[in-house]
Structure 1
Amino acid sequence: MSLPVFSLKNYQLQTIASLRRFLEKTVELNDADTAFYALTKRPFFQPPGLPGLPYVCLRVPTGGGKTILAAHSIAVAADAFLRCDNPTVLWLVPSDTIREQTLATLSSRAHPNRRALADRFGENVRVMTIQDALYAKRADYDGGAVVIVATIQAFRVEKTEGRKVYEANGELMDHFSGIAKEQRAILEAGPSGDPLPSLANVLRMRRPMVIVDEAHNARTDLSFDTLGRLSPSLIVELTATPVTPDEHKPEKGIYASNVLHHVSAAELKAEEMIKLPVILRGRADPRDTISDAMAWLDELSATARAEENITGEFVRPVMLLQAEPRSKEKPTLHADEVKKLLVDDFRVPEEHIVIATGDSKGLDGVDLFDRDCKVRFIITQQALKEGWDCSFAYVLCSVAEQKSARAVEQLLGRVLRLPHAKRKHHEDLNRAFAFATTTSFQNAANTLRDGLVNNGFERVEAQALVRAVAEPLHGLEPGGLAHLHEEAVPFELDFQAFEKNIHTLTGGRVEFDAERQVIRARGALTDYDKTALLLALPDAAAGMVEALVHKSRGARLKSIGEEQDAIRFAVPRLAVKTAHGLQLFDRGHFLDIPWKLENDDPAHIMDFFVPPRQAREEAHVDVDQSGHVNVEFVTDLHEQLMLNLQERGWTKNALVNWLDRRLPFTARRDITRISSTLFISKALDLISAQTGMSLEALARAKFRLVEALVKVIAKHRDGRETQAFQQALIPQGGLDFKTSAELELVFEESRYAYREPYKGRTDFRKHLFRVIGDLEPTGEEHECAVYLERMPEVKAWVRNTSQQPNSFWLQTATDKFYPDFVALLSDGRVLVIEYKGAPYFTNDDSKEKRLVGELWADRSGGSCIFAMIEGKEFSRIDAAIRKGG
């Protein structure tokens, strides 16, 4: 049976690519510190007791899929850094609950986490607990990837399980037979002086890659001491809330994270992973808060049914109610009281409610995704069961006034995930909703924003992503007559019977005015109120009940959080006329596919391949300022891992096929397998002839060969693509170009993605969206943005972010080109600006961008303008507008 295809999101691919670049750079420079600075331009914080260790953080907000990224990082580390087929991985998690969940996903062959390992290691994957590892044999490690999932506490010697890690264990004796003296030297010795046959020593020999999930919980001296005893090869931490450089206080045992890559909330939103924005409503009375939240949950449920009629996708919105803690000093709305309130005052059936607190396990065994599940209300206090996740949770309702962001942090994270990671047709189903009991609406909004920050969002993003709507749900002031909604009664009504059956059942939200003969609703009526009315009144009242419920919820209810007077900003894109209609111009229009790589000269591989012996000698020649020779981390690591390696007998064909399989997709995307294997075979012959390396020596250097092959193929491809691209753009190239609105890109705030939000002080009022992405607060690009902002001809502009799925791009010879700014002019024309510093204005890359940008403008029929600005010559923008007009 074939498994469904699982594809990483764009931001996930970029996160993995960042890790790959760092690890490759670390090998190239033989130094993690220098590699980190080269890629990030930020200082590297070396963890205590782990000199030279590559230790980096991937910062991913709640809902971003940290576990799948961790699974994919193993193959990246094996190829780009460890250069082995049998990595040992220690996967550390914060709790036993998360450990069980992680083990389950990594063990299931149908799960994307396991398939991320299978794509690289096939069936040669062993997933273990600590208990399994205490009995695992040497062949288990030699045969493929080993992943040990545990909590960091399990490796602390004061714990019973931890002691077993460091104690002699006869089950592990075969790991230590016939080992080299270099290996013996790095192992902890027993009383006899021989290496102790412990699991800790097995790991020290294997130099494990360590993955730390929710790493902010594991950055203490004790944790680093524990990790140091296991001699890791690298550490990759994944968290939403890393320790920042400002919090770095080694004297207090607090160490900053080395954030290599940061995923923004906007990237998650654009990739349809999370519900945003969060719409906040506040009321002073907890019963009013619950009433509003229930009414909106009813509306969302109706919207979800309408969505299912369109798409077939089943969603049943659920509410999380945050109760107060119990108190001996004063009465509180604790979990049991909230349940009683729901049942007695709001007539909610008990089967629709579960309590999930530390003492109550109401969610155990409940499948909220089951169509027949009746649960709609989950009452908790501060934390749900660790690892609990249900994307059907849409509404967060707090009956207590929250003054601490930590109090709402975890629950807020529970309502952010978008069901099935797929954007809905109805906009309300793409949002999360918070109803707060508060006497200070501003404080409630700030607390909610702080909760987003604690879930890994930037503060600037949080300010824009919490839409605090101060007026009540119904658009009228609470408590006054305007808050009452009424309908005339078209029949005789027994007031006393009504008072007894309805007024009480609805908690006073429905009453009868006998003098005026009207039924009146005080506040929003829920579906439960509606049902009570329909059952208590004659069939003739159905229309009146519907009208009353609708009025009570407010005619503007469906407009919660919707934007007013939004500017539609659409950009025509460059297309090619073909027999099949217009097609976006991309690399497929100027490249012959497949590419016959075997016809290219393999001699250039010697520009990139360094034989291991030479590289090893060069790596050790490194003297610091005091004259001491440094032993370099990466070189020592590779030498130690080689001692564990038992190479099989290789044939040339086997090595060629192995190398071909290891070429990443980016290297072989337009090459047939026959072409790549022929080229690899020629390259091996050439290397052997020039270096004298035997087939066995080439096999030992196979990861170096992969690296060199990727680089030489890229060099050949660059030359081929540049020539083909330039040929395609000239009039004689045979392509019929048109810049067409038929293939337009529409800028939408919900799909606007960026890495970092703008944090400068300039107030940009013409930017299309609340948050500006990837714009430094100072510098020449910032000055260009200010110039655009002040131009009277500009109606709106967008900072066009690079490599995001919904940004505007033009094809160049080798990749996509993302101009810096796109502006909508008052006369309807579109202006695209690429800013270049003076040193880069005339290089080949800029020439290509100018060429395709001017073609895009030329084929638009005057509706589009392209300007490449050099230095601070912003007057060229004015000239381009006048010329285009």
Structure 2
Amino acid sequence: MTLPLFTLKSYQLETLATLRRYLEKTVELGDADTAFYAITKRSYVPPPSLPGLPYVCLRVPTGGGKTVLAAHTVAIAADSFLRTDAPTVLWLVPSQTIREQTLASLQDRANPNRRALADRFGENVRVMTVQEALYAKRADYDGGLVVIVATIQAFRVEETEGRKVYEANGELMDHFSGLADGQRALLDAGPSGDPVPSLANVLRIRRPMVIVDEAHNARTDLSFDTLARLKPSLIVEFTATPVTPEEHKPEKGIYASNVLHHVSAAELKAADMIKLPVVLRGRADPRETIGDAMAWLDELTATAAAEEKTTGEFVRPVMLLQAEAKSKDRPTLHAEEVKRILVDDFRVPDDHVVIATGDSKGLDGVDLFDRDCRVRFIITQQALKEGWDCSFAYVLCSVAEQKSPRAVEQLLGRVLRLPRAKRKVHEDLNRAYAFATTTSFQNAANTLRDGLVNNGFERVEAQALVRAVPVIPGFEERGSAFVFEEALPAEIDATSFKTNIETATGGRVEIDLSTGTIRARGALTDYDRTALKLAMPEAAAVVIDQLVHRSRGARLKVPDAAQEAIRFAVPRLAVTTPTGPQLFDRAHFLDIPWKLEESDPAPILDFFAPPKPAGDEAHVDVSTAGQVTVQFVTDLHEQLSLALAERGWTKNALVNWIDRRLPFSSRRDITRVSSTLFIAKALDVITAKTGMTVEALAKAKFRLVEAFVKVIGKHRDEREKTAFEQALFPQSGLEFATSSAVELVFDENRYGYNQPYKGGTDFKKHLFRVIGDLEPRGEEHECAVYLDRLKEVKAWVRNTARQPHSFWLQTSSDKFYPDFVALLNDGRVLAIEYKGAHLASADDAKEKRLIGELWAERSGGKCLFLMIENKEFVQVERITDHESEGTC
């Protein structure tokens, strides 16, 4: 059976690329600290008890897919840092519930998490618990990837399960035969001086990579000491809320996370991973809050039905209700009472409601994605079961006033995920909704924003992403509820059912006999509609429908900034073809596939040198405190090679192995036949020059992969640069046009960035509420200030790099993203690239200028391009005043 293709999002690819660069840099420099600074330009916090160890954090907000990223991390670490085909991974999770879920996903061959492992290690994957690891044989580890999923408590010697990890176990004896002295130095020894046959010692031999899920729960001295006992090779943590430098307090045993890469909420939103913005509505009375929320759930349900008719995608919106805790001292709206209100006052069928608190297991065995599932309301108190996830949850309703962001943090995370990570045609289905019982609407909004921050969002983003709707526009407010009226048909005598109506709706619908009208206080639900139709004559059905419709007529409109009314479309550079304009990209100047075998293999010697003679054991030193110090990189690789016996190699086997290890970026335009022919020729060059045998080359196979990545990159750069320049010549036969047929429309819902702007300048003309990837200081910031104050500019966008919905132009090897794109008052578009004087003459800058000026030239004066150097911002004013060719 062919499994459906799972494709990583752009921000996920960028996250993994950053990790790969860091691990490669650590190997290159031999130092985790220096490598971290080289990649991030920030200081590294060495983990206590783990000197020299690479320990980094990938910060991903709720809904960003941390588990699938962690699964892909395994292959990246194995190839770029560990250099082994048989890594051992210790996958630590915060709770037993998450452990069971992670195990299930990694053991399911159809799950994207397991497939991420299988893409690199094939069928040689063993996923196990600690209990299973106590009986695993040496062949299980030697044969491929081993993943042990556990909580960190399972490795603490103070715990019952933890003691088993460190105790002698006869089932593990085969791991300890034929150990080299360097390996024995790593291990705990028994009274006889021989290594204790324990699981802890097995892990020490294997130098496990450690993945820590929700790592902010495991950054204490106790956790670091526990990890140090297992002699890990590196640690990668995944969390939405890392320990910040401000929270770093070593004297209290709390250590800041080394955040290597941060994913923003905007990137998740642009990638269709989460529902944003969160639309907030507040009411003082909890029953009115519930009524509003139910009515909006009905609206969303109708919208979802329309969505299915349009796209075929089934979505059934669900509401989460946050109840109060029971109290002996005062009456509360606890979970059972909220259910009673739903069933008795709002006539909700009992099987539409489940209670999911600590004692109630209403969600157990319930598949909310099943079309026949009847559950629409889930009542909880503070938190649903850990790991619970249903993207159908759209509405969060809090019946008690919440003053702490922690009280809404976890539930808010439950309503953020977008079903199927796919943007919906109906905009209401791309948003999440919160209905709060509150006497202070501003406090409710701030609490909700704080809840977003606790889910891993930046505070600047949270301010923009919570949209408060305190008033229904266009309707009169009477008392504490909005009132809607409809005239009853003259032939209907309401006297007989007046009392029944008011009872059936809990007083939210009443009959005024003096005027012959039916009046609704607040929005009516589908259950109200049903109750009214059952209580009233059939002749009133039309009036009931009208009343329900009117009560919902004030839909939750999101307040729009004035800039959102501006349509900002940028025509892009196209190639004219018989079938119409095509966006100019690599395919127009490169022959694909590329015949790599025709390239010269000799430059491989520029990137590969024979390894220096190494001892037959790792260089390990045991300190007087009992801690093992290792030269991370060389000695780590030697230790791992000692733990594995190399199989017999042939040249063909080595060629195929290297070919499979080439990353996609190296072989994206090369057939396997072409790459294997080139690899074979290059190995012949190395053998002729160095005299290395196939066995010697096999021992250096990971270094060979690095060399091939570099030599292929060198050949590709030369090929692409030449082809790109030839494509722009008039003789190339390509006809260029800057065309609106392939335009990019800037959309706030698609605006992605890595970090929001946190400076103090109040920019008036930026198209969107949040500005992405603009440092508060520096020359680019000065350029933005100049642009914002220029009278000729109507609106501008900080054009963020490597985001899927940013404006780009093709260069020989990459996409070029100008720093700023502005819409002028006369309708022209201006693209600006800022370069410091020391960068302006670089080859990439020349290509950017060339393609930018071609884009402007072929626009017929509609587009302008400017490359600014050394703060010469006055050029912006000159070019916007100039009405001619549109280049500078």
TM-score class, shorter-chain normalisation, is over 0.9
Measure the CA separation in 1 of the matches of 2:389 and 2:672.
43
Is 2:140 the partner of 1:143?
A: no
CA shift, 1:807, in A, is 0.2
CA shift, 1:322, in A, is 0.4
CA shift, 1:156, in A, is 0.8
CA shift, 1:884, in A, is 4.1
- 1:552 aligns with 551
Does the aligned pair in 1 maintain the 2:811–2:847 contact within 8 Å? yes
Deviation by residue 1:591-644 (Cα, 9 ceiling, x = unmatched)? 122222222222222221132217999x99xxxxxxxxx962111111101101
Measure the CA separation in 2 of the matches of 1:797 and 1:667.
36
- 1:537 aligns with 536
Does the aligned pair in 2 maintain the 1:534–1:541 contact within 8 Å? yes
Measure the CA separation in 1 of the matches of 2:398 and 2:677.
66
Does the aligned pair in 1 maintain the 2:467–2:558 contact within 8 Å? no
Matches within 5 A, 1:830-849: 830-849=829-848
- 1:517 aligns with 516
- 2:196 aligns with 196
Does the aligned pair in 1 maintain the 2:409–2:454 contact within 8 Å? yes
Deviation by residue 1:55-76 (Cα, 9 ceiling, x = unmatched)? 0000000000000000000000
Residue type at the aligned position of 2:640: L
Does the aligned pair in 1 maintain the 2:83–2:702 contact within 8 Å? yes
Does the aligned pair in 2 maintain the 1:523–1:552 contact within 8 Å? yes
Does the aligned pair in 1 maintain the 2:607–2:711 contact within 8 Å? yes
- 1:719 aligns with 718
CA shift, 1:566, in A, is 1.4
Residue type at the aligned position of 1:263: V
- 2:184 aligns with 184
- 1:865 aligns with 864
Measure the CA separation in 2 of the matches of 1:126 and 1:750.
41
- 2:778 aligns with 779
CA shift, 1:382, in A, is 0.2
Matches within 5 A, 1:163-242: 163-242=163-242
Is 2:317 the partner of 1:295?
A: no
Residue type at the aligned position of 1:660: D
- 1:580 aligns with 579
RMSD, aligned CA: 1.6
Measure the CA separation in 2 of the matches of 1:751 and 1:660.
37
CA shift, 1:859, in A, is 0.6
- 2:751 aligns with 752
Residue type at the aligned position of 1:157: V
Does the aligned pair in 1 maintain the 2:469–2:556 contact within 8 Å? no
Does the aligned pair in 1 maintain the 2:573–2:584 contact within 8 Å? yes
CA shift, 1:496, in A, is 4.0
Is 2:817 the partner of 1:818?
A: yes
- 1:625 aligns with none
Any idea what SS the aligned residue of 2:649 has?
coil
Residue type at the aligned position of 1:557: R
Any idea what SS the aligned residue of 2:612 has?
helix
Is 2:292 the partner of 1:265?
A: no
Does the aligned pair in 1 maintain the 2:469–2:557 contact within 8 Å? no
Is 2:799 the partner of 1:800?
A: yes
CA shift, 1:178, in A, is 1.1
Does the aligned pair in 1 maintain the 2:753–2:772 contact within 8 Å? yes
Residue type at the aligned position of 2:776: P
| Structure 1 residues 188 and 452, CA gap change in structure 2 (3 angstroms) | same
Measure the CA separation in 2 of the matches of 1:108 and 1:9.
22
Measure the CA separation in 2 of the matches of 1:250 and 1:522.
57
Deviation by residue 1:375-423 (Cα, 9 ceiling, x = unmatched)? 1111100000111001111000001110100000000000000011111
Residue type at the aligned position of 1:372: D
CA shift, 1:475, in A, is 4.7
Any idea what SS the aligned residue of 2:882 has?
helix
Is 2:589 the partner of 1:590?
A: yes
- 1:706 aligns with 705
Residue type at the aligned position of 2:351: E
CA shift, 1:474, in A, is 7.5
Measure the CA separation in 1 of the matches of 2:705 and 2:483.
74
- 2:256 aligns with 256
Residue type at the aligned position of 2:837: A
Measure the CA separation in 1 of the matches of 2:758 and 2:614.
44
Measure the CA separation in 1 of the matches of 2:610 and 2:734.
46
Does the aligned pair in 2 maintain the 1:590–1:728 contact within 8 Å? yes
CA shift, 1:764, in A, is 0.7
| Structure 1 residues 530 and 210, CA gap change in structure 2 (3 angstroms) | same
Does the aligned pair in 2 maintain the 1:292–1:473 contact within 8 Å? no
| Structure 1 residues 833 and 560, CA gap change in structure 2 (3 angstroms) | closer
Any idea what SS the aligned residue of 1:383 has?
coil
Measure the CA separation in 2 of the matches of 1:245 and 1:552.
50
CA shift, 1:270, in A, is 0.4
How many pairs are equivalent? Answer: 874
- 1:696 aligns with 695
Measure the CA separation in 1 of the matches of 2:323 and 2:222.
36
- 1:403 aligns with 403
Does the aligned pair in 1 maintain the 2:630–2:636 contact within 8 Å? no
Measure the CA separation in 1 of the matches of 2:444 and 2:557.
21
The normalised TM-score by structure 1 is 0.97
Any idea what SS the aligned residue of 1:743 has?
strand
Measure the CA separation in 2 of the matches of 1:884 and 1:142.
71
The 10-residue stretch of structure 1 (198-207 or 654-663) with the greater mean CA deviation from structure 2: 654-663
Residue type at the aligned position of 2:31: D
Does the aligned pair in 1 maintain the 2:126–2:147 contact within 8 Å? yes
Q: Percent identity?
A: 77
- 1:312 aligns with 312
- 1:66 aligns with 66
- 1:734 aligns with 733
CA shift, 1:760, in A, is 0.4
Measure the CA separation in 1 of the matches of 2:609 and 2:82.
17
The 10-residue stretch of structure 1 (594-603 or 452-461) with the greater mean CA deviation from structure 2: 594-603
Any idea what SS the aligned residue of 2:633 has?
helix
Matches within 5 A, 1:411-810: 411-472=411-472, 475-477=475-477, 479=479, 483-554=482-553, 556-557=554-555, 559-561=557-559, 566-613=565-612, 632-810=631-809
Measure the CA separation in 2 of the matches of 1:793 and 1:282.
41
The 10-residue stretch of structure 1 (579-588 or 56-65) with the greater mean CA deviation from structure 2: 579-588
Measure the CA separation in 2 of the matches of 1:561 and 1:609.
60
| Structure 1 residues 675 and 495, CA gap change in structure 2 (3 angstroms) | closer
Deviation by residue 1:508-535 (Cα, 9 ceiling, x = unmatched)? 1111111111111111111111111112
- 2:360 aligns with 360
Measure the CA separation in 2 of the matches of 1:562 and 1:882.
31
Does the aligned pair in 1 maintain the 2:208–2:232 contact within 8 Å? yes
Residue type at the aligned position of 1:504: T
The 10-residue stretch of structure 1 (12-21 or 535-544) with the greater mean CA deviation from structure 2: 535-544
CA shift, 1:265, in A, is 0.3
The normalised TM-score by structure 2 is 0.97
| Structure 1 residues 137 and 344, CA gap change in structure 2 (3 angstroms) | same
- 1:626 aligns with none
Does the aligned pair in 2 maintain the 1:406–1:451 contact within 8 Å? yes
Matches within 5 A, 1:148-159: 148-159=148-159
Gaps of 5+ in 2: 620-628
CA shift, 1:669, in A, is 1.4
Residue type at the aligned position of 2:718: G
Measure the CA separation in 2 of the matches of 1:857 and 1:643.
60
CA shift, 1:676, in A, is 1.3
